[in-house]
């Protein structure tokens, strides 16, 4: 584009530009001084408290994640022990059924006494083997049962410990947490308690039920599966983000945009016309 096509600044435009730059630099300096002043106005003690609170939350979250990982390992170990226990009980049942239905041979069914004695001897040997195997399987099943119960007890104790720790944190969110969540008049069945203890937001769910005793009583009378679904819906509702409050501020001004093609070639405009065209949204 030639010099004629590129509109030159009108007289006084350079002075306006320099003034705008000076004002911008001055505003920037004042903003920096204001920010620095605000930072200086904040007491060092408050900064230390904020940093300490953030560090505490971070440590608590990391500790909770570790304990959740350990709890998951315990759950997997308990499930494995339960599968082994189920298999041991199945084997024991097969041995018991075999011994119950096994009948000794009858002499009348054999052509000779010697043949009968041989069959009877084999029967007693096989029965003795099955009885020993059943005894061993029974001992194995009992051991599996003890292991499973121990893992379950350990897992439940760990889950309750984590729940109590979460309750301690909930007391910082709800000043009346114990009075509401631990209200003995609110119906919370054993099934409900077992479900709530295993939830990440368990204390919040318990607090919600304390605030809504009628709902708690309704869930307490539900079967376990339905109660779990109802409690899950409560937890999901508590986890939902709060609705954004609509601002009363006026809508932002929409800049005027040029529409259609310009009535005049920008290259042929005067500096004043070109500036007005650009301010109105004109573009190439």
- What's the confidence (pLDDT) of residue 188? 94
Q: What share of the chain is helix, strand, coil (3-state, %, to 5)?
A: 75, 0, 25
Q: Percent of the chain having pLDDT more than 70?
A: 63
* Sequence-distant (≥ 6) Cβ neighbours of residue 45 within 8 angstroms: none
Could you write out the three-class secondary structure of 8-36?
A: CCCCCHHHHHHHHHHHHHHHHHHHHHHHH
Instruction: Report which of residues 36 and 275 the model is more confident about.
Output: 275
What would the pLDDT profile of 42-91 be if each residue is shown by its tens digit?
Answer: 566 666 666 666 666 666 677 777 877 877 887 788 888 888 889 888 88
Could you write out the three-class secondary structure of 206-231?
A: HHHHHHCHHHHHHHHCCCHHHHHHHH
* pLDDT(234) > 60: yes
Work out the average pLDDT over 213-237.
Answer: 93
> Which of 21-25, 170-174, 234-238 bottoms out in mean pLDDT, i.e. has the lowest?
21-25
- CA angle 101/103/108 to nearest 5° reads 150
By the 10 Å C-beta count (0-12 exposed, 13-18 middle, 19+ buried), 121 is classed as exposed
| Residue 188 · residue 209 · CB < 8 Å | yes
Work out the average pLDDT over 215-222.
Answer: 95
Handedness of CA 86, 87, 88, 90 (dihedral sign): positive
* pLDDT(241) > 60: no
Instruction: Report which of residues 30 and 59 the model is more confident about.
Output: 59
What's the CA gap between 126 and 106, in Å, rounded? 16
Residue 68 CB neighbour total at 10 angstroms: 14
Which pTM does this prediction carry? 0.50
């Amino acid at each position: 584009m030639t010099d004629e096509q590129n509109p030159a600044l009108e007289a006084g435009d350079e002075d306006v530009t320099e003034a705008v730059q000076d004002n911008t630099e001055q505003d920037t300096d004042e903003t920096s001084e204001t920010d620095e002043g605000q930072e200086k106005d904040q007491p060092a003690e408050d900064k230390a408290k904020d940093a300490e609170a953030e560090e505490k939350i971070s440590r608590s979250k990391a500790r909770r994640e570790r304990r959740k990982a350990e709890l998951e390992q315990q759950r997997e170990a308990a499930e494995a022990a339960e599968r082994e226990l189920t298999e041991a009980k199945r084997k024991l049942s097969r041995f018991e059924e075999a011994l119950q239905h096994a009948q000794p041979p009858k002499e009348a069914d054999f052509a000779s006494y010697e043949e009968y004695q041989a069959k009877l001897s084999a029967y007693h040997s096989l029965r003795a083997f099955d009885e020993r195997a059943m005894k061993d399987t029974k001992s194995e099943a009992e051991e599996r049962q003890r292991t499973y119960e121990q893992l379950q007890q350990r897992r439940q104790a760990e889950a309750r410990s984590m729940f109590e720790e979460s309750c301690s944190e909930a007391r910082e969110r709800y000043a009346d947490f114990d009075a509401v969540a631990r209200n003995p008049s609110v119906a919370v069945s054993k099934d409900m308690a077992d479900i709530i203890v295993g939830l990440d937001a368990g204390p919040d769910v318990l607090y919600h039920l304390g605030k809504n005793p009628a709902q708690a009583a309704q869930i307490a009378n539900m079967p376990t599966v339905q109660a779990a679904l109802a409690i899950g819906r409560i937890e999901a509702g508590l986890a939902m983000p709060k609705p954004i409050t609509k601002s009363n501020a006026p809508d932002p001004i929409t800049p005027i945009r040029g529409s259609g093609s310009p009535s005049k070639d920008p290259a042929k405009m005067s500096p004043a016309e070109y500036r007005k065209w650009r301010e109105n949204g004109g573009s190439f």
